[in-house]
Structure 1
Amino acid sequence: MEKSVEKKTRAMGTQKLVAIVAMVALFIFFSIFGKGFFKYSTIVSVFDSAYYIGFMAIGVTFVIITGGIDLSIGTLCICCSLIGGTLYQAGVPMAVALILIIVIGGVFGLANGLMVSVMGLPAFIATLGTMMITRGLGSIVTGTASVSFPMGDEAGAWFKNIFKFQPDWLPQNMAAGIPTGFILLIVLAIIMAIILNKTRPGRYILALGSNKEATRLSGVNVVKWETLAFIISGLFAALAGISYAAINVTLMPGTGNGFELDAIAGVVIGGTSLSGGVGSIAGTLIGVFIMAILKTGLPFVGLQPHYQLFITGFVLIIAVFADVANRKKQGN
């Protein structure tokens, strides 16, 4: 078993290296062929696109490592923010609203975890149901009306500076702001990488993906740790919702469907195996930035953003094919 994990880890390292090369190649391609791409405001746009995808991807990495999937993170991301924004408009202080957004994400993550680990529902079906519930709940709470978070010098707008700092003294060529959210993304990525690779919960979550039954027979509480993976996914989906609200002016009910595909694609492109047992937060971030560069760069070469779905589909198929080929090579 240890040799199998070692082979998987080596294969993941190779895929991560390929992902790094692909990320650099994409950036160079858009810089050369995309008129106006290589400038400060575009780099900020790449970071803006990476935040909400990145937070969702970090969380869902833990679920995919267990061999599961979480399809609800996209709609949960928006649902949490819609509820938080509605509460703020009703007079709840922004700090309290942000905390409640995180709590709501954790509660839905817990519900997903219990449905999968206790009730025995397939993760695909359980989280598909939660996707529909959260998409509808956001519309119900807001009455299908859009929600706007405070901007500029308005009371409560302070949280936006966590993700993009735009003081008046910035020079004209930096008017797009300072992408401070990158610091938060990297710090949380480091923390979660340590948890995954250096702590008992992380090792148990990795073990679940390698062989769930063997892990259970060894005395590990698989229900507890599988549920924890979904809770982490829910919490990070909620954090993604906060970052999305910080970057975008208005949130629309019924949206968010499709965000999960970008996040899952980033995870897979970064080398995490859909069969479970092996994963890397660093690889996930690389995959996320590939997605963000694609999303930002395509319009600069004359292609509309919806082409991202078309291209991402091909990239995802190639990444999954590489994973399947590696597993066949290892005899798994």
Structure 2
Amino acid sequence: MKRFLALGLAAFFAMTAVLTGCSSTPEKIRIGEVTRSLFYAPQYVALEKGFFKEEGLEVELSTIPGGDKVMSALLSGGIEVALVGSETSIYVSQQGAADPVVNFAQLTQTDGTFLVSRTKMDDFTFDKLKGSVFLGQRKGGMPQMVGEYVLKKHNINPQGDLELIQNIEFKNIASSFASGTGAYVQLFEPEASRFEQEGIGHVVASFGKESGTVPYTVFMTKQSYIDSNAAAIQKFTNAVYKGQQWVASHSAKETADVIGKYFEQIDPKILETAVQRYLEQGSYATDPILDEKEWNQLQDIMDSAGELKQRAEYNKLVNTTFAIQSKEGK
């Protein structure tokens, strides 16, 4: 009897050890980011500081150029979470998707582009753009929509008051300007700071400051994934919030040092300058909550650009439950 009891206990403890080992195995989440950008600094900080691991997650990050390609990967199950502009979730909804793509954690809250002039000017006003050649961003993306929204705000007709170039691929815009195309260009960092350092161009305005707060880049996933993996999404959002808080409480240099491995081709000083620009204009969200006012501003910008078929319901495409719980420490 004792022998069988001992064997039974041994089997029980062995099974317990197996189950314990299984419960400690990190859950894996694959992220697809639309581009590699220091605009996403809090994400890289969360990775490098081990915030995802602290939450029991194993995160695999891949860069998938183009919002349409990121959405294809998400919808087909190639990734679990997409980091891309909120407008893509609206485009998917407009196409009648049965499984909505839901925004659950905001990463950036302003446009990240700057207006760069080929010539230095201390007295820049937007009316100087009239009659010029302006190298903008690709049509349908948030940078282009924000760019046109800001121009209209300053009484400039993007299609009539200047020559607007929008047929150059995102990855080639900076090099096109450097080779002589356009008198003005709309650029993200670190290209804007690099051009200033090299004397190629000069930052004269910020589209982020001009357009106000919007849910510019957001982590999103399918509703079906949230339904089946709510605990994992909560852990993910917790890690994002930790990254946001770390960036908000540290210097631009400290952040640049942490994320440097993701931008090995960029001069550390330029990286620091670019991070400082984004910090100063509040581009990095300090918490993951996407509020309804920001959502409405996004749709106003899309509507102004002619890219919005109908208004998208905030409560259908945005879920703030995880973000609020992260901020409240629950």
Higher helix share: 1
Higher strand share: 2
Does TM, scored on the shorter chain, surpass 0.5? no
Greater RCO (CA < 8 Å, at least 6 residues apart): 1
Give the structure-1-normalised TM-score. Answer: 0.26
